[in-house]
Structure 1
Amino acid sequence: MAQSPELAGGEGFTFEGDAAAFYLTALLAEAYAPGVDDRIVVGVSVQQRDFGEPLDDVIVDFEDATKGAARLSLQVKRSLTISKADTNTDFRDIIRDSWATLRKSDFRINADRYGVAVGTVAPAKERALKTLCDWARESLTADHFDARFAPGGSAGASIKVVKEDVIVLLEEAKGAPCTLEEVHQFVAHFVLVQFDFLREGATDPPDAINRIRDCLMPDDAATAPLVWSRVVQLARSSAGKSGQFDRARLVRSIASVARLLGATSFRRDLEKLMEIAKSYASLIPDDVGGTRLDRTSLLESLNAKLTAARVVQIRGLPGSGKSVLVKRAVLRALERGPILFLKAEQLEGTNWISYAASHGLSDAPLERLLVEVGAAGTPTFFIDAIDRIEKEHQPIVVDVIRTIVESPLLDHWRVIVSLRDTGIEVLRNWLGDFLDVLKIETLGVDQLNNEEAETLAIAKPHLRPLLFGAPQVREIVRRPFFAKVLNQATLLLRPSRRSPRNQRSI
Structure 2
Amino acid sequence: MPQSPELAGGEGFTFEGDAAAFYLAALLAEAYAPGIDDRTVVRVSVQQRDFGEPLDDVIVDFEDAAKNLARLSLQVKRSLTISKAKANTDFCDIIRDSWATLRKPNFRIKSDRYGAAVGTVAPSKERTLKTLCDWARESVTAAHFDARFAQGGSASEDIRTVKNDVAALLEEANGAPCTSDEVHLFLAHFVLIQFDFLREGATDPPDAINRIRDCLAPDDAAKAPLVWSRVVQLARASAGKSGQFDRARLVRSISSVARLRAATSYRLDLDKLTALARSYAHLIPDDVGGTKLDRTSLLERIDDKLARARVVQVRGLPGSGKSVLVRRAVERAIELGPILFLKAEQLEGTSWISYATSQGLSGAPLEQLLVELGAAGTPILFIDAIDRVEKEHQPIIIDVIHTIVESPRLDNWRVVVSLRDTGIEVLRNWLGNYLDVLKVETLGVDQLSDDEAETLAKAKPHLRPLLFGSARVQEIVRRPFFYEGAEPELRG
TM over 0.5: yes
**One-letter amino acid matched to 1:209:** I
Counterpart check, 1:253 vs 2:224: no
Partner of 2:479: 479
**One-letter amino acid matched to 1:156:** S
How far does residue 484 in structure 1 lie from its aligned partner after superposition?
Answer: 7.7
- How far, CA to CA, are the matches of 1:261 and 1:357 in structure 2? 24
Partner of 1:37: 37
- How far, CA to CA, are the matches of 1:236 and 1:17 in structure 2? 5
- How far, CA to CA, are the matches of 1:87 and 1:483 in structure 2? 84
Q: Which has the larger radius of gyration?
A: 1
Partner of 2:155: 155
Residue 156 to residue 483, structure 1, CA distance change in 2 (3 Å)? closer
Question: Where in structure 2 are the equivalents of 1:10-89 lying within 5 Å?
Answer: 10-89=10-89
**One-letter amino acid matched to 2:92:** R
Q: 1:89-112 CA deviation, whole Å, 9 max, x = no partner?
A: 000000000000000010000000
- How far, CA to CA, are the matches of 1:154 and 1:74 in structure 2? 30
Matched position secondary structure for 1:92? helix
How far does residue 262 in structure 1 lie from its aligned partner after superposition?
Answer: 1.7
Matched position secondary structure for 1:214? helix
Partner of 2:177: 177
- How far, CA to CA, are the matches of 2:105 and 2:422 in structure 1? 61
Matched position secondary structure for 2:418? strand
- How far, CA to CA, are the matches of 1:378 and 1:483 in structure 2? 28
The answer as to whether partners of 2:318 and 2:482 remain within 8 angstroms in 1 is no
Counterpart check, 1:220 vs 2:224: no
How far does residue 145 in structure 1 lie from its aligned partner after superposition?
Answer: 0.4
The answer as to whether partners of 2:70 and 2:111 remain within 8 angstroms in 1 is yes
The answer as to whether partners of 1:287 and 1:484 remain within 8 angstroms in 2 is no
Partner of 1:458: 458
The answer as to whether partners of 1:477 and 1:483 remain within 8 angstroms in 2 is no
**One-letter amino acid matched to 1:192:** L
- How far, CA to CA, are the matches of 2:348 and 2:176 in structure 1? 66
The answer as to whether partners of 1:476 and 1:482 remain within 8 angstroms in 2 is no
**One-letter amino acid matched to 1:207:** D
The answer as to whether partners of 2:277 and 2:341 remain within 8 angstroms in 1 is yes
The answer as to whether partners of 1:339 and 1:380 remain within 8 angstroms in 2 is yes
How far does residue 296 in structure 1 lie from its aligned partner after superposition?
Answer: 1.1
**One-letter amino acid matched to 2:333:** A
How far does residue 155 in structure 1 lie from its aligned partner after superposition?
Answer: 0.5
How far does residue 182 in structure 1 lie from its aligned partner after superposition?
Answer: 0.3
Normalising by structure 2, report the TM-score. Answer: 0.98
**One-letter amino acid matched to 1:43:** R
How far does residue 113 in structure 1 lie from its aligned partner after superposition?
Answer: 0.2
**One-letter amino acid matched to 2:257:** V
Partner of 1:8: 8
Counterpart check, 1:327 vs 2:327: yes
- How far, CA to CA, are the matches of 1:143 and 1:77 in structure 2? 33
The answer as to whether partners of 2:40 and 2:64 remain within 8 angstroms in 1 is yes
The answer as to whether partners of 1:453 and 1:478 remain within 8 angstroms in 2 is yes
Q: 1:155-191 CA deviation, whole Å, 9 max, x = no partner?
A: 0011111000000111000000110000000000000
Partner of 2:364: 364
The answer as to whether partners of 1:272 and 1:361 remain within 8 angstroms in 2 is yes
Normalising by structure 1, report the TM-score. Answer: 0.95
Matched position secondary structure for 1:285? coil
Partner of 2:408: 408
**One-letter amino acid matched to 1:243:** G
Partner of 2:308: 308
Q: 1:382-404 CA deviation, whole Å, 9 max, x = no partner?
A: 00000000000000000000000
Partner of 1:378: 378
- How far, CA to CA, are the matches of 1:36 and 1:439 in structure 2? 47
The answer as to whether partners of 2:285 and 2:483 remain within 8 angstroms in 1 is no
Matched position secondary structure for 2:437? coil
Question: Where in structure 2 are the equivalents of 1:165-244 lying within 5 Å?
Answer: 165-244=165-244
The answer as to whether partners of 1:11 and 1:239 remain within 8 angstroms in 2 is yes
Partner of 1:288: 288
Moved >4 Å (runs of 4+): 482-485
**One-letter amino acid matched to 2:81:** T
Matched position secondary structure for 1:318? coil
Q: 1:351-378 CA deviation, whole Å, 9 max, x = no partner?
A: 0001001111011000000000000000
**One-letter amino acid matched to 2:265:** S
How far does residue 482 in structure 1 lie from its aligned partner after superposition?
Answer: 5.0
Partner of 1:388: 388
Matched position secondary structure for 1:167? helix
How far does residue 79 in structure 1 lie from its aligned partner after superposition?
Answer: 0.1
- How far, CA to CA, are the matches of 1:239 and 1:180 in structure 2? 37
